[in-house]
Chain A
Amino acid sequence: MIERWALVSGLKGDLDTYELIQKDLKKTPGNISLFVLGDMIGPEKNCNKLLHRLINPKSNDLQPWCIYGWWEEQILLESGYRGDQRAEALRINKGEELVKSLTNAVDKSFLDWIAALQFGFVELDCGLIHGSSKDVGENLTLETAPLTLLDRLTRLQVNRLFTARSKQQFHLELKEGIVNSEVEDLNGNRKKEQKVPQKAVIGIGAGKNYTLYDVGTDNTQFVQAGYKSEKRIKGFGRL
């Protein structure tokens, strides 16, 4: 049986999209694990129904494995789960109204569940996080410097890093990395050539745009929720 991961993020309370993804995944061949890489909540709409569904999946739902994202971090800050800090960056950049919208969008009864979520998962040699291994709010994109990407991979000691914060979908491979290092200290000089094995950073998208990852072949497929079924209805066949 093919082992596949479905990587989802940025639902921001959108239960309809989540149900569409669940529907898609039921039709997707293979043994699927569903990972939700944060931003389950957001200020735009009430998030309670989605959170309830994530915590209490329907009997035929794929079990979602969730981590916290940037919006979860903001509500935890604002709700006093991070000591004396509050969501000041959000307040300054987006205003008091948005902070209120966020706190109104999530019932307080869900906060303990959100606070218990992990920063990320390490599965096999892959890191699954919202932003980066440095910061939940860090955007990793195709434009991020390769040295920075390597550093974020090194921090988690993984070969592949799945990230969601940028909302972009991409699969960027880093390979044939080499650097010569010469150290001089009180014991003398030593030279070393360091190589880096092939590594990758994968942007999984957000909302309806999610990613399927084939664990066995290291292939990614960028998917739009509902798109496959729409195509079939129109007679274009499977993607």
Chain B
Amino acid sequence: MNQAIISCLHANLPAVEAVLKDIELQGITNITCLGDLVGYGPQPNEVIELIRDKKIPTCQGCWDEDVVDGLDACDCSYPSQLAERRGHFAHQWTTDKLTKENKDYLANLPYSIRKDKCLFVHGSPNSQHEYLLPDMDAFAALERVENARAEILFCGHTHQPYIRELADGSIAVKIKNAVPKDTQEKEIQLPMRRIVNAGSVGEPRHGGTKATYVVHNEVTNEVKIREVEYDIELTCKAIIDSGLPPIFAWRLKNGFEFAEQAEDASHVCER
């Protein structure tokens, strides 16, 4: 049985509609959303209402949290002061636009969703703000999955879809100078675990312009990354018309990596 995992919708209604259509065409009815329904994009209420109407189980993303609780990310989250100003402007714009009902909906989203061996989060099990990038330290990546007591961790936040398998791990542990005098040494086998990043529906940052999401077969454990075309011009026009920073439209249209993300992606936001 296939399940679809979508993330980082970012108030981009044409992209969300196109992805949901693609999921429907494959006959998939089991969908999980990893948050960031809002932020950057021009249709926050419309996207929230679509997800609510379809009763898609959703985790709270960092933007969803920040819109409700106030900006929560530490200043490491932006690569420049200019990017930070744009981010704060989009935050305020979104906060002003959202209806009370939709804010309440975002406020009540869970941090994580667990289904058997699968854990669904926005950033990482530690924080909605932590980036699990595809090439991060393999031991740290394994720790995130293992300490969350999952076999497969589904996440988003980076806007870069990937499937990472961590296998054949081991580590030797030696106790030196113990009290009472003792020296023990043992080799510990590390479990095989997977991290699946769903990419982004509404603001791709993988170098292309297509919306991305993933399909997971719960029987075979096979995961496929899907790319979906949508009417980018429509979203770009809505961004410009709404008064949001034009650079948000520019990067959607060009598919360039211009992410408002931490320069040190391994940094764990402690706030």
**Contacts from A to B (Cβ < 8 Å):** 134, 142, 145-148, 150-151, 154-155, 169-186, 192, 194, 196, 200, 219-222
Is the contact region of chain A dominated by helix, strand, or loop, or is it mixed? strand
Write the nearest CB–CB distance from B19 to chain A, whole angstroms: 16
Whether the pair A176, B170 counts as a contact (CB closer than 8 A) is yes
Q: Give bound CA distance, A175 to B134, whole Å.
A: 24
**B contact residues vs A (CB 8 Å cutoff):** 134-135, 137-143, 146-147, 160-179, 187-188, 190, 206-208, 212, 225, 227, 266, 268
> Bound state CA distance, A195 and B180, in angstroms?
31
Known A147-B146, A175-B172; judge A184-B163 contact (CB<8 A): yes
Report the minimum CB–CB distance from B211 to chain A (whole Å): 12
Task: Choose one: A174, A184, A219, A221; the contact of B171 (CB below 8 Å).
Answer: A174
Contacts of A173 in B (CB 8 A): 173-176
Asked if residues A150 and B139 are in contact (CB atoms below 8 Å), the reply is: yes
Q: Is the CB of A220 within 8 A of B188?
A: no
Q: Chain B residues with Cβ under 8 A from A174's Cβ?
A: 171-173
Q: A178-B169, A186-B225 are in contact. List 16 more A-B contacts (CB 8 A).
A: A147-B146, A170-B175, A171-B175, A174-B172, A176-B170, A180-B168, A181-B164, A182-B164, A183-B162, A183-B164, A184-B163, A185-B160, A186-B161, A186-B208, A192-B135, A220-B176
Point out the residues of chain A lying under 8 angstroms from B140, CB to CB. 150-151, 154
| B168 / chain A contacts, CB cutoff of 8 Å | 178-180
Inter-chain contacts of B141 with A (CB < 8 A): 181
A130 to chain B, nearest CB (A): 15
- Closest residue on chain B to residue A189 by CB atoms: B163
From A179, A180, A220, name the one whose CB has the most chain B CB atoms within 10 angstroms.
A179
Q: Which residue of A lies closest to B206 (CB)?
A: A186
- The distance from the CB of B157 to the nearest CB of chain A, in whole angstroms, is 15
